[in-house]
Amino acid sequence: MKPAPFEYVRATQLGDALAALASDDDAKVIAGGQSLVPLMALRLARPALLVDVNDLPLDTVEVANNEVRLGSLVRHVRLERDAVVVRAAPLLAEAAALIGYPAIRNRGTLGGSVAHADPAAELPAALVALDGVVLAEGREGTRRISARDFFEGFLTTVLAPDELVVGVQVPVAAERHGASFREWAPRAGDFAVAGVAVVIELDAGGVCVSLGAAACGVGSTPVDLHEVLTDAGVLGASDVGDSLLRSTAQAAARTARGDDDREQLVGLLTAAALHDAFARARGGDASGTGVAA
């Protein structure tokens, strides 16, 4: 038993969870506990009150109006295996499969990963690449926050201390959608040194008409690579030949300039993810979970 003493409440209704959170300045939400409990064991976190949200009805996957809405308690293992997620948000399924180990994915939650905002985490970067929305609930109501604005710094978000992440929303993968998450870690399952998510959509003629990309492990928040890839000429391209891959890789690498470990890595991962994304959008490559129909 390593954590310092704390009080515990299990909330079964959203209102109760919000009231409990507001009742104590040192209250903290516990979801999967896979980031919070290690910090408590090391006494880097000493919450006075833990508000357990695991019984709230937020383990939900819904598709409506061309959006996939995922409740914050969807565990990584569900993102990885759920047929609806694999089809409608393949990037999230692929990103979740890269998190830690099976025992971590069996507990860790989407909302926990987003709220924790570890700059090396996969799901925040995937959400930025997908131009997703974080749904936050406070006592004043719901806020819809663009993932691009949600992450402020190392382990810091725009969430108020008494707000809960209740879910996230991303666009449903279109017909010629291709997504890929590439990362490098010294050992399978470890936090990645860096990772890159790329998602594209091709039109009927095979031209890239929409694109998103983001890196994790670089900087203090997910790094949005949308502009970098757009400027490199990916938008409007109908093929990713060597020269486009090379120039895109160089442009992406510049976002990690000065970081010797990561500069080349980000370039290589971007090229690899972009290559996968095109292949999957064309339906040519069935490897990984990020298969496009």
Partner 1 sequence: MKHRVKFEVNGEAAEIEAEPRETLLDVVRERFGLTGAHAGCEHGACGACTVLVDGAAVRSCLLFAVQCEGRSVQTIEAFGTPAALHPMQEAFRTHHALQCGFCTPAMVLTAIDMLAHSPNATETEIRAALAGNLCRCTGYAGIVDAVCSLAGREPVDS
Name which of 59 and 118 has its Cβ closer to ligand FAD: 118
CA distance 249 to 215: 12
Residue 116 binds which entry of ligand FAD, partner 1, none, CB below 5-8 Å type-dependent = ligand FAD
8 Å CB contact between 61 and 71: yes
DSSP 3-state of 261: coil
Binding status of residue 21 toward partner 1 by CB under 8 A: no
Q: Would you tell me how many other CB atoms lie within 10 Å of the CB of residue 1?
A: 4
Name which of 108 and 124 has its Cβ closer to partner 1: 108
What is the SS3 string spanning 185-200?
CCCCCCCCCEEEEEEE
Return the residues of window 21-80 that contact ligand FAD according to CB under 6 A: 28-36, 38, 53, 72
Which residue is associated with the tokens 């979801």? Answer: 31
User: Interface mask (CB under 6 A) for ligand FAD, residues 192-231, using x and -?
Assistant: ----------------------------------------
User: Interface mask (CB under 6 A) for ligand FAD, residues 107-126, using x and -?
Assistant: xxx-xxx-xx-x--xx----
Residue 17 binds which entry of partner 1, ligand FAD, none, CB below 5-8 Å type-dependent = none
Selected binder of partner 1 within 19, 45, 54, 118 (CB under 8 A): 54
Joined tokens for residue 224: 């949005």
- List, in sequence order, every beta strand (DSSP E) within the chain: 7-10, 27-30, 49-52, 61-64, 67-71, 133-138, 141-146, 151-153, 156-157, 164-171, 177-184, 194-202, 208-216, 223-224
Name which of 35 and 180 has its Cβ closer to ligand FAD: 35
Residue 4 binds which entry of partner 1, ligand FAD, none, CB below 5-8 Å type-dependent = partner 1
CA distance 173 to 199: 9
Return the residues of window 257-286 that contact partner 1 according to CB under 8 A: none
Joined tokens for residue 256: 């990690």
Which positions lie near ligand FAD, rule CB under 6 A? 28-36, 38, 53, 72, 99-100, 104, 107-109, 111-113, 115-116, 118, 121-122, 164-165, 191
